[in-house]
Amino acid sequence: FRKQRATSLSSPAGPRSASSSSAFPDTLPAGTEYGADNGIRLEAVWLTHDPAYPDEQPTAPLARYTYTASGELRAVYDRSGTQVRGFTYDAEHAGRMVAHHYAGRPESRYRYDDTGRVTEQVNPEGLDYRFEYGESRVIITDSLNRREVLYTEGEGGLKRVVKKEHADGSITRSEYDEAGRLKAQTDAAGRRTEYSLHMASGAVTAMTGPDGRTVRYGYNSQRQVTSVTYPDGLRSSREYDERGRLTAETSRSGETTRYSYDDPASELPTGIQDATGSTKQMAWSRYGQLLAFTDCSGYTTRYEYDRYGQQTAVHREEGISTYSSYNPRGQLVSQRDAQGRETRYEYSAAGDLTATVSPDGKRSTIEYDKRGRPVSVTEGGLTRSMGYDAAGRITVLTNENGSQSTFRYDPVDRLTEQRGFDGRTQRYQYDLTGKLTQSE
């Protein structure tokens, strides 16, 4: 039983799209903790009217979605018909996702305990994670045996992480007010930063650093920042119009930049005047795309776009233009300059750039691993390659001559040693906060 419904979504100035929905049973299997919904699922989004292209409408939906019999999202397709996301669910627990993947990428899988909490995340060609739960803590261990512990306080929606033990043994802390808003942080070196909050809005009104110096913030009735007062007494400010649009910014040195708007309904500025009086001008399309930019010298650059918002042409002074074209997936496939010279681009199913063909026919290629990391680049018949560890950190570079440079890291991914192509070794040390303290 499938019931079709259609609705229309449009903006006064923009294209109109229609979405079609699929209906599913109003109840879920007994024993689940999920309540019933109305069974309506978004099935597809179609472009049905475009003022810029009144006689040309796409023959395929902009996006399409499929579902399981229980109404769980199974797959997402883009406007080219390519499946870009996929999901798998536990047959015995409605709504519990056990795997997902992106186009051309390996599938990540999840395991759960009896209470529905994730206990393991398996990422082929990447890091796996294990999760252990205590009364007020979560232990996270990856496949490199690096361990982090999160300590929590509060209940329900007010539960917050108040302490974190990092893989290198360092500890950071956070404090919150009764509403769950951050009010203080202490870094691994024991340095404390405090935040003063407006009682009603929760906006940060002051920030006091470990050295006791305070920065203060002022706001208008729309909760927009109007002033920043620095520890040295200097002040920067912002002004807005009645629509809440930024009209002026004054730096702490007293220099003012002003913004003007031609369209009373637009949030996009058409003029920017700096402290020297120089002006930049912008023109925008009805969709918020930059159509023209005139710099302080009067030099104007114009831009064109296709119906999907992709930039198709750039026109500069003296007739210098470049043109771009795209495939149905929205990937840039060619660029042509003012002399008609064309550069072409090729992609994998995962969307990775795999080849660039220059106007003279020379071809450079890039190969990737399953996680989308480049492992080799070939140009002019010469190849350089890269190797990675499970955490995605580059561990070895091999240049065109076969020489290698290697890299080592600490438990929190900071570079600790690099051996160059010439065989020389450079070592790095850091303080508890991650700042580089020594290089030798």
Identity of residue 98: V
CB atoms within 10 A of CB 404: 15
Query: What's the whole-model pTM score?
Result: 0.83
* Per-residue pLDDT, 20: 62
In eight-state DSSP terms, residue 52 is: T
Question: What is the torsional sign of CA 111, 114, 118, 119?
Answer: negative
* Per-residue pLDDT, 11: 46
Q: Going along 143-241, which residue ranges are E strands?
A: 147-153, 160-165, 171-176, 182-186, 192-197, 204-208, 214-219, 225-229, 235-240
Q: Going along 348-399, which residue ranges are E strands?
A: 353-357, 363-368, 374-379, 382-388, 394-398
CB atoms within 10 A of CB 46: 20
State the residue for tokens 């309540």.
Answer: 35
pLDDT tens digit at each of 440 positions of the chain: 233 444 445 444 556 566 666 554 455 455 545 556 677 899 999 988 888 778 878 888 999 999 999 999 999 999 999 999 999 999 999 999 999 999 999 999 999 999 999 999 999 988 999 999 999 999 999 999 999 999 999 998 999 999 999 999 999 999 999 999 999 999 999 999 999 999 889 999 999 999 999 999 999 999 999 999 999 999 999 999 999 999 999 999 999 999 999 999 999 999 999 999 999 999 999 889 999 999 999 999 999 999 899 999 999 988 899 999 999 999 999 999 999 999 999 999 999 999 999 999 999 999 999 999 999 999 999 999 999 999 999 999 999 999 999 999 999 999 999 999 999 999 999 998 899 999 99
* Per-residue pLDDT, 380: 92
* Per-residue pLDDT, 57: 80
- Identify whether the C-beta of residue 356 lies closer than 8 Å to the C-beta of residue 347: no
In eight-state DSSP terms, residue 187 is: -
CB atoms within 10 A of CB 361: 7
Q: Are strands 235-240 and 97-102 parallel, antiparallel or unpaired?
A: unpaired
Burial class (CB in 10 A: 0-12, 13-18, 19+), 126: buried
